[in-house]
């Protein structure tokens, strides 16, 4: 069976629609107030969509099972054995932990993975001979996401994709989030992290850059202003800028009422724009 990827919708169908990407470990560390803010946004008519990762938890489970973790250019080498653990961790424990926290705050959430309903269609990445069952997104069934939203639930999506023959793929959470945002018509995406934004040294002090282009980020990495553990965070955020997604906002999830403040236009974190 071949499933053709659907075309992205030209515009968001509902006011207040936004996509939020967050790592599983970051979400686990967020205070209850973050989820209360999310619940209030949902109650006031906003429509959040969450795409999450879970790299550290996957590595931890692989270690417990005695399975080696290997990476090539930041992508986890994924065999069928590794993929079983990836799916168990992302679609199982992490996904349901997020759903439980949302519902404990009074919100309504429904957890699923990209396999469910062929939500995230994928095919092998170009260097699949090196990384194995890692996929790139070929389509997102936007009607599933919008249908869940229409029922009054927050979709919580684990980034495992599938092709027309039923083969699963490990999908980078950032690229999955960018694809979901683009296909459902969300022009911007919020990346929730544990840092206040992209930092730069000005007059000897670290300050948050309110806005930066992709070209400027590469220059900041080149001159050493962005370094160490911030480099993969920033590159991951840039991976989200695809299709109709024209900006990504990096924010610290521990900032009080960060989601509602960003959605109201308050200058928090760093906005990454194409140009």
Binding residues: 54-55, 76, 170
Contact (Cβ atoms closer than 8 angstroms) between residue 164 and residue 121? yes
- CA-nearest of 18, 34, 13 to 252 is 34
Contact (Cβ atoms closer than 8 angstroms) between residue 118 and residue 5? no
Return d(Cα 2, Cα 182) in angstroms, integer.
22
For residue 199, give Cα distances in angstroms to 6, 112, 174, 275: 38, 35, 20, 19
Q: What's the predicted TM-score (pTM) here?
A: 0.89
pLDDT at 15: 56
- CA-nearest of 264, 244, 247 to 8 is 244
Beta-carbon contacts of 203 under 8 Å, excluding residues fewer than 6 positions away, are: none
pLDDT at 1: 37
pLDDT at 34: 95
pLDDT at 206: 84
Question: Does the domain formed by 17-273 have CATH 3.40.1160.10?
Answer: yes
Q: Where are the domains of the chain?
A: 17-273
3-class state of residue 173 by DSSP: helix
pLDDT at 229: 66
Cα-to-chain-centroid distance, residue 134: 16
Binding residues for substrate: 54-55, 76, 170
Residues of the chain with pLDDT under 50: 1-14
Return d(Cα 12, Cα 29) in angstroms, integer.
30
To which H or E segment does residue 37 belong? helix 32-43
Contact (Cβ atoms closer than 8 angstroms) between residue 112 and residue 157? yes
Longest alpha-carbon distance in the chain = 60
What does the pLDDT look like over 205-238, one tens digit per residue? Answer: 888 999 999 889 888 888 888 877 677 678 777 8
pLDDT at 115: 97
pLDDT at 97: 94
Contact (Cβ atoms closer than 8 angstroms) between residue 154 and residue 102? yes
- CA-nearest of 243, 2, 17 to 118 is 2
pLDDT at 223: 87
pLDDT at 74: 76
What does the pLDDT look like over 94-131, one tens digit per residue? Answer: 999 999 999 999 999 999 999 999 999 999 999 999 99
pLDDT at 158: 97
To which H or E segment does residue 140 belong? strand 135-140
């Amino acid at each position: 069976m071949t499933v053709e990827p659907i075309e992205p919708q030209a515009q968001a169908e509902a006011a207040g629609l936004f996509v939020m990407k967050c790592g599983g470990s970051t979400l686990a560390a967020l205070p209850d107030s973050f989820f209360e803010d999310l619940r209030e946004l949902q109650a006031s008519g906003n429509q959040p969509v969450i795409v999450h990762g879970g790299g550290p938890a996957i590595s931890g489970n692989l270690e417990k099972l005695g399975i080696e973790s290997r990476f090539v250019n930041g992508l986890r080498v994924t065999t069928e054995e590794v993929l079983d653990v990836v799916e168990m961790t992302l679609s199982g424990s992490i996904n349901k932990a997020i759903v439980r926290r949302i519902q404990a705050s009074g919100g309504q959430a429904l957890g699923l993975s990209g396999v469910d309903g062929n939500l995230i269609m994928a095919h092998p990445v170009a260097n699949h001979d090196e990384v194995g069952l890692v996929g790139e997104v070929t389509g997102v069934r936007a009607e599933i996401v919008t249908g869940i939203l229409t029922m009054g639930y927050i979709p919580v999506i684990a980034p495992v994709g599938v092709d027309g023959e039923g083969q699963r793929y490990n999908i980078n959470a950032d690229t999955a989030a960018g694809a979901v945002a683009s296909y459902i018509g969300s022009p911007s995406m919020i990346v929730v992290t544990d840092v206040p934004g992209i930092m730069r040294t000005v007059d000897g002090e670290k300050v948050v850059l309110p806005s930066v282009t992709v070209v400027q980020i590469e220059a900041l990495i080149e001159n050493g202003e962005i370094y160490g553990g911030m480099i993969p965070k920033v590159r991951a955020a840039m991976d989200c800028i695809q299709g109709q997604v024209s900006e990504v906002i990096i924010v610290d999830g521990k900032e009080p009422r960060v989601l509602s403040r960003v959605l109201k236009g308050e200058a928090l974190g760093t906005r990454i724009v194409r140009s």
